Structure 1
């Protein structure tokens, strides 16, 4: 007879395990699936391009965020981390997938200069937050990680923001837009089906509620960018920028 639930971490691991048979989910052991996803670098995947997100470029161009220490969550092949480093940010970039990190490191070597100073981390950002990731950060950036988390891991995500985001710092997010991309099932149904159906869709009001401890700076659809654009942009994504109260 197993009686192995004692802490909140035990509960979170138990709930993670409900999704273990499913490929399109996040758990600490999901790296194998993502390695397969990143194995063919020539695949026609929108975010495989070596371009930063249009909203990130816009925040910087308008002076909404300024260079400092940055954490890129779910960095993938490193396109946003490289852009931040090129503008003077000290960047920690983390991803579950060794294949993604290897690709990002290759891009950083090819870029040279400031990109060579990016610190890449392979692993679970929630587990690394108290060890390898050296916050506090002036910017925490997430392009496509949050919408792959099962609902219970929002608790871990908010805890990471609480620990790692500097007072006065910014949190920026791109995620699937309700009505355009991602599953719109109620949270409880994901546990009944043990699947995330490729990722969760979020309407703006849900994002405002989830991140209500932060101050909204901007929340809008991502602009679609043509192939010749220097930026990445897909209209099925929502972009959001929040700021932490300087007094916290």
Structure 2
């Protein structure tokens, strides 16, 4: 008889297990799914192109964010990390997949860019590895692959590493007929033991989840043609939030 639940981490691990083997997409227990995904660099995947998010470029061009320390969560092959480094940001970039990071490091060498890459689960990396504080935390496509309970750790990570006055930039699946991702209620993902390719979000949901931050902009991503210097797909939300308030109270482990 198992009666092992004592801490918040125990609860998180139990809930992760409900989605195995799909948990390979977000936990430090493995990276095989993403390694397979990134193995063929010639695959016609829009975000494989070495282009930054159009929203991120827009924030820079409008002066909403300026060079400082940046953290790229779920950096993949490094397209946004390299863009920020070229602008003078000091960049830490994290991804679960060694295959994705190998590609990102190849691109960094070719571009002569300095980026500090970290392989692993961003929630499990130590304070020594992700030192913070960061003036910018950018996430393009990581958040919508997390199961609902992992939002707790995500918000805690933001509280820990985002500097006062710093910005959080997010690109994630948008709900709706022209969006992408599953619109199931949170509880149904646990009943079915599957994330169905990722979670779709409504704008109101994002405002509630990140309500402790100040909204700067929340809109659909612009559709960028293949010839554009930027990546853009209209089935995604883009959001920019600023930290104007103290960190939320941490949930104590018991």
Q: TM-score, normalised by structure 1?
A: 0.96
CA distance in 1 between counterparts of 2:56 and 2:64 reads 10
Q: How does 1:183-202 map to 2 (within 5 A)?
A: 183-202=182-201
1:135 match: 132
Q: Secondary structure at the match of 2:244?
A: coil
Q: How does 1:41-80 map to 2 (within 5 A)?
A: 41-80=41-80
Give, in angstroms, the shift of residue 94 of structure 1.
Answer: 0.2
1:28 match: 28
Give, in angstroms, the shift of residue 247 of structure 1.
Answer: 6.0
Give, in angstroms, the shift of residue 91 of structure 1.
Answer: 0.2
Deviations for 1:146-183, whole angstroms, at most 9, x for unmatched residues? Answer: 00000000000000000000000000000000011000
1:88 match: 88
Q: CA-atom RMSD, angstroms? A: 1.3
1:10 match: 10
CA distance in 2 between counterparts of 1:40 and 1:29 reads 23
2:39 match: 39
CA distance in 2 between counterparts of 1:159 and 1:197 reads 25
CA distance in 2 between counterparts of 1:137 and 1:34 reads 26
Deviations for 1:51-96, whole angstroms, at most 9, x for unmatched residues? Answer: 0000000000000000000000000000000000000000000000
Which has the larger displacement, 20-29 or 238-247?
A: 20-29
5+ residue gaps, structure 1: none
Question: Is contact 2:75–2:93 with CA below 8 Å preserved after alignment?
Answer: yes
Q: TM-score, normalised by structure 2?
A: 0.94
Change beyond 3 A, Cα 1:165–1:59: same
Change beyond 3 A, Cα 1:37–1:203: same
Give, in angstroms, the shift of residue 129 of structure 1.
Answer: 4.6
Provide runs of 4+ in structure 1 moved above 4 Å. Answer: none
1:181 aligns with 2:180: yes
5+ residue gaps, structure 2: 248-254
Give, in angstroms, the shift of residue 195 of structure 1.
Answer: 0.4
Count, aligned residues: 245
CA distance in 2 between counterparts of 1:129 and 1:185 reads 33
Q: Secondary structure at the match of 1:99?
A: helix
CA distance in 1 between counterparts of 2:246 and 2:7 reads 30
1:169 aligns with 2:166: yes
1:226 match: 225
Question: Is contact 2:77–2:101 with CA below 8 Å preserved after alignment?
Answer: yes
